[in-house]
């Protein structure tokens, strides 16, 4: 049972970090006023990072 709780906390922290990074990317893009193509590329990068973090969690 403590193992499940620790895994849940790790996943929650990953989600917080990912959403924080996503928000930061959007804020930077608003400040720089880049085109929507770069915004979508950053969103894709965020999803790739999320998938990689899930694979890392599975290995651990």
Q: Is the dihedral of CA 32, 40, 44, 5 positive or negative?
A: positive
Q: Are 37 and 45 in contact (CB under 8 A)?
A: no
Residues 6+ apart with CB under 8 A from 26: 39, 42
∠ CA 56-16-57, rounded to 5°: 15
pLDDT at 33: 62
pLDDT per residue rounded down to tens, the chain (60 residues): 677 777 787 778 777 877 877 777 777 767 666 566 666 777 777 788 778 777 777 766
C-beta of residue 57 within 8 angstroms of C-beta of residue 10: yes
Q: Is the pTM of this model over 0.85?
A: no
């Amino acid at each position: 049972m403590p193992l499940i709780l620790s895994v849940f906390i790790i996943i929650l922290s990953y989600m917080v970090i990912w959403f924080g990074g996503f928000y930061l990317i959007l804020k930077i893009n608003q400040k720089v006023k880049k085109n929507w193509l770069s915004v979508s590329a950053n969103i894709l990068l965020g999803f790739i990072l999320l998938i990689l973090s899930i694979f890392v969690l599975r290995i651990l």
